[in-house]
Amino acid sequence: LFDAELDWVADNDPAVTTLLEERMPGIPNYGDITTASPPSVDVLTAGFPCQPISTAGRRKGTEDDRWLWPAIEALIGRMEPRPRLLLLENVPGLLTINSGNAMADVVRGLAGLGFVGRYRLLQASDLGACHRRRRWFCVATNTSSQRRWPQPGGAPREQGEPGALRRNAEDTDHQPDGPGKGGLLPTPNAWDGARGPDYAQQRDRRATGSGGDNLTTTVAKLLPTPMSWHGRRPGNSDTDTKERTDSTWEDIRGRGGQTWQDYAAAIERHTTLVEAPPPPPVNDAGKLSPAFVEWMMTLPPGWVTGGLDLPRTTQLKILGNGVLPIQAETAYRSLLAG
């Protein structure tokens, strides 16, 4: 966004640390922000944990041990000079949890540090993504800084270009609500690979799995005959397994062209957004594929899934905790423009 250089990161999750070391070699990782004292920077970004706020946790808000805003506030306070610009991100529940007191804590903390800001909500589907992923974005500027705060480079996308802000009147939630209305796929979540029964693994066709409310079940139900997948034995190598997965998906997709069903329009828009067709949504065992979720998150192929030997559930957790880069860029550009 600013044509800036990354100075450091701070994450104490072992799997994320492995990913950061591979994708951002040589960049210091200060780990636990509750004790870290990294050097000051011009622009500080923070996507503080959403579990205290979202349905992924128990919505304890500020009473949750994972409510890390006070730690971020303290970290900024230890910096000298303080950053010129803060870019924050979280889930929309931040505005309402604890009857608004959590958001009030953020505003009070920013003001106490000498920052004034503005925020907005933006969903990924407004940019053409195949899932909603509504998120809260905030820009806060240092009122005491005598230096002009950074300006974003480049130009925002024009209407009609991939990634241009646009609302799709035909979008609905992932449960289509009327004839001719194309649904959005469920938003990827960190627990997609670990929570609840996996519909794709059910050997009884009458089983409903986790009910169709998550991405795992929804994708599995797109397969005309879910159990037909288990009749294909995986190969003896990763290459052979991938070839079988790809070819089997192509076979299924060719049966009348109905694989994406009510989600076809959303998938087509997303394909335009990332300028690449979707990979198979399931792996050789019929489970939700991290590569497909990576595509949904508009990340470069292999950014999370390539060459690190991270377990499938871990890959899905990392992807589900993320935000679309193009979504964040669009939100911050609009906020910086006033």
Residues 55-87 have pLDDT tens digits of 555 556 666 667 789 999 999 999 999 999 999
User: In 32-102, which ranges are E strands?
Assistant: 43-46, 85-90
Question: Nearest-CA neighbor of 41 among 13, 5, 94, 65?
Answer: 5
Joined together, the tokens standing for residue 296 give 């949904």
**Rg, Å, the chain Cα set:** 21
Q: At 136, is the pLDDT very low, low, confident or very high (cuts 50, 70, 90)?
A: very high
Average of pLDDT values for 189-210? 58
Amino acid at 315: Q
Model pLDDT for residues 238-293, shown as the tens digit of each residue: 444 444 445 555 554 444 445 788 888 899 999 999 999 999 898 887 788 999 99
For residues 322 and 295, give the distance between their C-alpha atoms in angstroms, rounded to a whole number.
12
Residues recorded for the chain:
338
pTM, entire model: 0.81
Q: Among 52-61, 147-156, 235-244, where is mean pLDDT lowest? A: 235-244
| Mean pLDDT computed over every residue of the chain | 78
Burial of 102 (0-12, 13-18, 19+ CB in 10 A): buried
**Residue of 80, 132, 112, 96 whose CA lies nearest to 263:** 132
State the average pLDDT over residues 177-203.
64
**Biggest alpha carbon–alpha carbon distance for the chain:** 67
